[in-house]
């Protein structure tokens, strides 16, 4: 795409900032790097309308095939192995498993390419706890039966800081300079959250909890899905700029969508689902340099004998005996006769891959819409210099208030390596424009690297000098969009039912992209098959 630098920066960072960035002539050196990951093979192959006739010698038989090796597919595989069921294969199109929770290997530490934390689960989430226990992350239980995670796996202080008008402040909500009215609205907002944290339906179910399958289906709560979070804030008299920013940040951070693109149910879910009781802090975060890559690596270790990578599943054919799964292994077509399949790849791909899906659709696949992101990993030879001696120090999560990006996470933080080289993972959700996904692929490495460095330079003037390399991942279908009228519209319930021996397990089925949701659906699908 031929755009001037100013146009490019205007699209991504806004006109005033682009103007300022382009007027100050810079002789800064530009680091090297490349676009990595996410193969676009599947899309190309399916569009080519190829013939998928498998040579007779290339057929084999397995009881179950799992399509997709993200957290959902890996969780299903983990459950199978835990239950001593071994007659299955997991097929992943990429060279590495993990999907949006995959990580990279580097120096001085590894780093995430997407998901980077998991809040400590409540005691009710027994299967997730047993997984964390298997990883030796748990130290014991507290007096109330909640798990205690070993300190080295819990996000280290300082956790978060925000850059606002030239300096860094602790936390994410901007308390510095808040007016009395800002404070009143913030307190009132907390009261509303407390109300929903304490709320129980007639059966004793919480309004918001993880996994979503445990949430109340009472209309008092689900009706919140009908309006946007922006409307909910307006209806409740919340107009304070910093509060509105805080809520918008939350939606962009967890869902890749803005306030007015997110349902009020999803907005409140973000704030309430990980708070045990009113007044309590949200559950602490489990993290490590490679983020949720640590869980992916553990899964892989347990199930690697059943995993086949670089296998593009091009056709899933239900028949009277079960399901035939056809995949492209390099240039060779291979087929697997199975009794059942777990479909753990994004739901929108179902009509393209599953034969006959469109003729008798079990659910409306086009309702599963995604937001796009780009993620950049910057390899720094040293830490950015603080602008003031009293500036709040580098944290795990570093957010830029005036930027449409989400800022960056510091990979070395959790290891307590506070000096010398580090890796910063920069996140940019493409939610400012319609068709963010299509547009994302119009931009090449140089464009996106320029956006990232220019954005970070507002807080770190030495970023060009320090960055030796910048690699970029474009996530076209990064996260399911919990837009108004989606989560409780009924479409997810239909997708959760097996259809023609195919069980759907991708996190999309929850309407929210989270590790816990992918894990829940992977286990659900595996359990359905085992039973
Ligand atoms: C930038 C970003 C940040 C995130 N941060 C967090 C976070 O901090 N915490 C959190 O809990 N969640 C986070 N998430 C969400 C989290 O990563 C996901 O909810 C979860 O990992 C999804 O797992 P999944 O298996 O359902 O799907 P995916 O990760 O989408 O995996 C699907 C897999 O299927 C494969 N596949 C697709 N089609 C085929 C085919 N035809 N044949 C074979 N294989 C196929 C894909 O290659 C992929 O590996 C983040 C997501 C993104 C994009």
Q: What is the pLDDT of residue 225?
A: 98
Q: Is 42 in the pocket of ligand 1 (CB under 6 A)?
A: yes
Distance between Cα 419 and ligand 1 center (Å): 32
Q: What is the pLDDT of residue 123?
A: 97
Q: Is 295 in the pocket of ligand 1 (CB under 6 A)?
A: no
Q: What is the pLDDT of residue 362?
A: 95
Question: Which three-class secondary structure string do you get for 376-410?
Answer: EEEEECCCCCCCCCCCCCCCCEEEECCCCCCCEEE
CB-count exposure of residue 233 (10 Å: 0-12, 13-18, 19+): buried
Distance between Cα 426 and ligand 1 center (Å): 18
Residue bearing tokens 């997110």: 262
Ligand 1: which of 41, 44, 68, 289 to mutate, judged by most atoms within 8 Å of the beta carbon? 68
Distance between Cα 234 and ligand 1 center (Å): 33
Helix (H, G, I), strand (E, B) or coil at 374: strand
Q: Is 91 in the pocket of ligand 1 (CB under 6 A)?
A: yes
* Beta-strand relationship, 111-112 and 118-119: unpaired
- Comparing C-alpha atoms, which of 109, 113, 110, 108 is closest to residue 37? 113
Q: What is the pLDDT of residue 433?
A: 72
Distance between Cα 474 and ligand 1 center (Å): 13
Q: Is 254 in the pocket of ligand 1 (CB under 6 A)?
A: no
Q: Tell me: cis bond preceding 53? Omega within 30 of 0 counts.
A: no
Q: Give CA–CA dist 391/372, Å, rounded.
A: 33
CA dihedral 173, 147, 518, 479 (to 10 degrees): 10
Q: Which atom of ligand 1 is nearest to the CA of 427?
A: 1
CB-count exposure of residue 126 (10 Å: 0-12, 13-18, 19+): exposed
Q: Give CA–CA dist 31/36, Å, rounded.
A: 16
CB-count exposure of residue 28 (10 Å: 0-12, 13-18, 19+): middle
**Cβ atoms of 517 and 410 closer than 8 Å:** no
Closest protein CA for atom 40 of ligand 1: 313
DSSP 217-246: --HHHHGGGGSBHHHHHHHTT---HHHHHH
Distance between Cα 480 and ligand 1 center (Å): 10
Closest protein CA for atom 5 of ligand 1: 115
For residue 78, how many C-alpha atoms fall within 13 Å in the half-sphere facing its CB? 29
The helix or strand, by DSSP H or E, that contains position 440, with its residue range, turns out to be helix 436-440
For residue 327, what are the contacts with CB-CB under 8 A and spacing of at least 6? Answer: 91, 311, 312, 313, 314, 333, 334, 335, 336
Closest protein CA for atom 35 of ligand 1: 68
Q: Give CA–CA dist 525/498, Å, rounded.
A: 9
Along the 531 residues of the chain, how does pLDDT read in single tens digits? Answer: 678 999 999 999 998 888 888 876 566 789 999 999 866 666 777 777 677 899 999 999 999 999 999 999 999 999 999 999 999 999 999 999 999 999 999 999 999 999 999 999 999 999 999 999 999 999 999 999 999 999 999 999 999 999 999 999 999 999 999 999 999 999 999 999 999 999 999 999 999 999 999 999 999 999 999 999 999 999 999 999 999 999 999 999 999 999 999 999 999 999 999 999 988 999 999 999 999 999 999 999 999 999 999 999 999 999 999 999 999 999 899 999 999 999 999 999 999 999 999 999 999 999 999 999 999 999 999 999 988 888 999 999 999 999 999 999 999 999 999 999 999 999 999 997 777 777 888 899 999 999 999 999 999 999 999 999 999 999 999 999 999 999 999 999 999 999 999 999 999 999 999 999 999 999 999 999 999
Q: Report DSSP state, residue 501.
A: T
Residue 253: alpha-carbon gap to chain centroid = 9
Q: Give CA–CA dist 432/440, Å, rounded.
A: 12
Q: Is 335 in the pocket of ligand 1 (CB under 6 A)?
A: no
């Amino acid at each position: 795409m031929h755009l001037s630098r100013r146009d490019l920066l205007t699209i991504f960072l806004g006109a005033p900032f682009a103007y300022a960035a382009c007027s100050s002539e810079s002789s800064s050196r530009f680091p090297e790097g490349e676009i990595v990951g996410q193969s676009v093979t599947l899309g190309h192959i399916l569009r080519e309308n190829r013939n998928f006739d498998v040579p007779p010698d290339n057929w084999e038989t397995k009881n179950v095939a799992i399509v997709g090796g993200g957290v959902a597919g890996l969780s299903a595989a983990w459950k199978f192995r835990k239950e001593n069921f071994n007659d299955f294969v997991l097929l992943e199109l990429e060279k590495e498993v993990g999907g949006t929770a995959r990580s990279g290997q580097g120096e001085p530490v590894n780093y995430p390419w997407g998901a980077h934390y998991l809040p400590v689960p409540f005691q009710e989430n027994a299967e997730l706890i047993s997984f964390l226990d298997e990883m030796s992350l748990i130290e014991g239980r507290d007096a109330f039966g909640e798990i205690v995670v070993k300190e080295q796996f819990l996000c280290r202080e300082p956790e978060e800081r925000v850059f606002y008008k030239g300096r860094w402040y602790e936390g994410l909500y901007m308390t510095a300079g808040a007016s009395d009215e800002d404070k009143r609205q913030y307190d009132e907002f907390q009261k509303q959250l407390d109300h929903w944290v304490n709320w129980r339906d007639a059966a004793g179910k919480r309004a918001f909890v993880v996994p979503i399958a445990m949430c109340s289906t009472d209309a008092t709560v689900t009706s919140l899905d009908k309006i946007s979070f922006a409307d909910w804030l307006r209806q409740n008299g919340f107009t304070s700029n910093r509060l509105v920013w805080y809520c918008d940040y939350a939606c962009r951070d967890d869902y890749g969508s803005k306030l007015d693109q997110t349902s009020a149910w999803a907005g409140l879910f973000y704030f309430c689902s990980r708070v045990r009781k009113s007044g309590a802090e949200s559950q602490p975060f489990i993290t490590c340099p490679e983020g949720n890559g640590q869980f992916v690596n553990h899964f892989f270790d347990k199930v690697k004998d059943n995993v086949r990578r670089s296998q593009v599943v091009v056709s899933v054919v239900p028949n009277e005996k079960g399901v035939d799964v056809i995949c492209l292994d390099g240039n060779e077509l291979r087929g697997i006769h199975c009794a059942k399949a777990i479909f753990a790849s994004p739901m929108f791909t179902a009509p393209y891959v599953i034969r006959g899906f469109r003729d008798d659709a079990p659910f409306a696949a086009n309702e599963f819409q995604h937001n796009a992101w780009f993620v950049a990993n910057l390899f720094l030879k040293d830490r950015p210099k603080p602008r003031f001696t009293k500036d709040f120090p580098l944290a795990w999560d570093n957010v830029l208030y005036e930027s449409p990006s989400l800022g960056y996470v510091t990979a070395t933080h959790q290891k307590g390596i506070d000096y010398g080289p580090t890796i910063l993972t920069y996140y940019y959700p493409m939610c400012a424009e319609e068709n963010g996904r299509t547009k994302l692929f119009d931009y090449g490495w140089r464009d996106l690297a320029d956006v990232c460095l220019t954005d970070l330079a507002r807080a770190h003037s030495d970023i060009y000098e320090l960055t030796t390399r910048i690699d970029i991942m474009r996530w076209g279908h990064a996260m399911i969009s919990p837009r108004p009228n989606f989560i409780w519209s009924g479409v997810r319930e239909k997708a959760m039912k097996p259809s023609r021996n195919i069980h759907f397990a991708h996190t999309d089925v929850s309407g929210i992209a989270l590790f816990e949701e992918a894990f829940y659906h992977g286990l659900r699908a595996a359990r359905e098959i085992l039973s």
